[in-house]
Structure 1
C-alpha cells in the first residue's frame, strides 16, 4: 500500500506532462483525420489520480506477485495519457487505423470485441466494438521544445460516437456502481442499450453508403474534403487490389482546395486525372500522387499549389531560391512529358523515369540528372525538407542547362516554347 501511495504522489507531479502529451497527440490526430476526410471528434485526458489508485489496487490484487517498485506500475498502466477518437461512421475504423499507423509509433494494437472470460450475465449482444492502440508520438512530428513528450506512452481508443457513449455508461455502472453489484434487470437494460447502439451503427453505415453512392454520380460535385475522400476511397477500392496499392490518403483537404481553385472539384474533372496516375508504392501518399499529375509541367498550377501549400513557411531568401528552382524545373518537366508522350502515346501526364529508360532516347548522364532534379522537386513540393539555398540555385541552373541541351538534341524548340506559352 505504501508503494502504491508513493506511486500516486509521484504521478501527481507528472500529471501536467501526461495531460500535455495527450493534448499534443489529440491535436495531431484531429488535424490528420480532418485532412484525410474522416469525420470524427477527438478528445484527450490524463488518468484521474483517484481512478488511477483504484485501478492500481485492483491490478495489484490480481497479480501473482505484487508490484515491487514504481517502475513496474508505470510499465503496467498503459493509459496514463489517453486519446479518444469518436468516429461519425463506424465504417471508417480501417481508414483511421492506416492513418494512426503512419502518424505514431505503434507498440501494441487491441481489437474489440474480445471475451477473455464468461460474463456473469448471459449477454445477447456483442458489447464494445473498438480498436485500441498503445503508441508513442514520433520525434520528427514534434517541435524541439515538445520532443520530450515522445517518451509518453499514449493509449488511443477508436470507436463510433455511439459506442463510446454506451461504453462510458457501461463502464461506470458495471465497474463502479454506487452501491453493491448491479441486478440482473440492470444488466439486461445495459445489454439492451448495447443492442440499440449496434443497430444505430448499422444505420450510420447505411447513411455513409448512401452518401458514397451520391458522390459517385458522373455529375457529382464535391462540396468538402469529406465527399472527395469518400469518392477516392471508393474509386481506388473498386479499381485496385489492396495488395497493389497503399491506401495512405494523405492531405485530402489540401487536394480539395487545389481542385476547387482550379475548378476541377467534380467527378467529370477528376476521373481522367485518376486514370492517368500510376499510383506507385513510394514515399508519396495518394493525394500527393494525384497532385503531381494535376500540376505536372504547368507553371500556373505549380504556383497555385505552392501558394496553398507553403504560404509563409519560407523566409524571403529561401523563397526566392525555391521560386528560381521551379522556374527552371517546370519547363524541363513539360519538355520531358512531351517527349515521353510522343515516344509512347499511352503515357499521359507526368513522365515516368522508367519509361524514359526503356525508350533509350536519353543518355545515362541525362537520366541521372533528371532523377536528382525530380528528387529535389518532390521534397520541395511535398514539404519533406528544404535544401540549402546554394544547392537550389545550382540545381536550378542544372535544370536550365539540361533543357537547353535536350532542346538542341531533339532539334525542336517547340516544347520549351509551348511551356512558356502555357505559363502565360
Structure 2
C-alpha cells in the first residue's frame, strides 16, 4: 500500500506542477486496523440513521434523492441499513489510504480536482462537510421531521447543522498505464481517497476530528 500511495503522490505533484498550483507538501496516511475498525463502527451507525431518515422522508411523500442532495449526502444515497456482507464493508473503507492536498486559495480547489481527474481514474467525487457526528445530525433531522411544520424547520436545521467546513473529496484509482505490469494484479482494484481543501480548512478539520473522535474512541 505504501508503494501505491507513493506512486499516487508523485502523479498528483506532477499534475499540480503542470497547472502552476502552489501548495504545501502533499500529506498522506494509511490507517491502522484499530482506526479502520472505529471507522466501520461509525459508518454502521450512519447507515442505520440514514435508513431511518429515508423511511421518514418517504412516508411524507418526499423525494429521498432530493433530501440527500439538500443534506450534502448524495454520495451516500444507497448506503443505508446495516452492512450486508464483506463487499459493503470493503467499500466503506475507501479511505483506508488517503491523501490530503492543501492549497492556499479557495478558488484553486475545483482546478485541482480537474487536474487530477485528467490523470487518475475518478471513481466518485463529492463535497463533504466537516468531520462531525453525521449519525447525530441525521437523528436530529429525523426528530425535526416528526414535528408539525417539518419542512420549514428541517430547512433551518440543514442551514445550521450541515454548513461550515467543506472540502472536495475524490475516490481514485491509478490509470492502467501508470501501473507497472508486475503490480497489475494487486494494484488494479486499490482505491484511495484524496481530500482537496484550503490549508485553514484542513487545520480546523484536524482540530475538530481530535475533539470529536478521540473521546468517542475511548468509549467504544
Give yes or no for TM over 0.5: yes
Q: Deviations over 1:309-361 (max 9, x none)?
A: xxxxxxxxxxxxxxxxxxxxxxxxxxxxxxxxxxxxxxxxxxxxxxxxxxxxx
CA contact (8 A) 1:105 1:135 kept: yes
Q: Deviations over 1:383-408 (max 9, x none)?
A: xxxxxxxxxxxxxxxxxxxxxxxxxx
CA contact (8 A) 2:129 2:162 kept: no
**Aligned equivalents of 1:171, 1:77: Cα separation in 2:** 18
Counterpart selection for 2:8 from 6, 13, 25: 25
Counterpart selection for 1:49 from 33, 45, 70: 33
The answer to whether structure 1 residue 133 and structure 2 residue 117 are counterparts is no
Richer in helix (by share): 1
1:164 is matched with which residue?
A: 202
The Cα of 1:46 is off from its aligned counterpart by 1.4
CA contact (8 A) 1:23 1:45 kept: no
CA contact (8 A) 2:170 2:195 kept: yes
1:87 is matched with which residue?
A: 103
Q: Any unmatched runs of 5+ in structure 1?
A: 1-16, 182-424
**Aligned equivalents of 1:60, 1:113: Cα separation in 2:** 19
Matched position secondary structure for 2:215:
coil
1:344 is matched with which residue?
A: none
CA contact (8 A) 1:113 1:129 kept: yes
Asked which structure has the greater RCO (Cα within 8 Å, sep 6+), the reply is 2
TM-score normalised by structure 1 residue count = 0.34
1:98 is matched with which residue?
A: 114
Counterpart selection for 2:93 from 69, 74, 77: 77
- Would the alpha carbon gap of residues 124 and 135 (structure 1) be closer, same or farther in structure 2, given more than 3 Å must change? closer
- Would the alpha carbon gap of residues 180 and 172 (structure 1) be closer, same or farther in structure 2, given more than 3 Å must change? same
TM-score normalised by structure 2 residue count = 0.63
Matched position secondary structure for 2:94:
coil
Bigger Rg, which one = 1
Write out aligned runs for 1:119-198 (5 A): 126-147=163-184, 148-177=186-215
Richer in strand (by share): 2
1:390 is matched with which residue?
A: none
Q: Any unmatched runs of 5+ in structure 2?
A: 49-80, 142-156
Write out aligned runs for 1:372-387 (5 A): none
1:340 is matched with which residue?
A: none
**Aligned equivalents of 1:83, 1:53: Cα separation in 2:** 20
Q: Deviations over 1:293-322 (max 9, x none)?
A: xxxxxxxxxxxxxxxxxxxxxxxxxxxxxx
CA contact (8 A) 1:81 1:152 kept: no
CA contact (8 A) 1:21 1:81 kept: no
**Aligned equivalents of 2:37, 2:129: Cα separation in 1:** 26
**Aligned equivalents of 1:30, 1:164: Cα separation in 2:** 18
Matched position secondary structure for 2:188:
helix
Q: 66-75 vs 128-137, which deviates more?
A: 66-75
The Cα of 1:180 is off from its aligned counterpart by 9.1
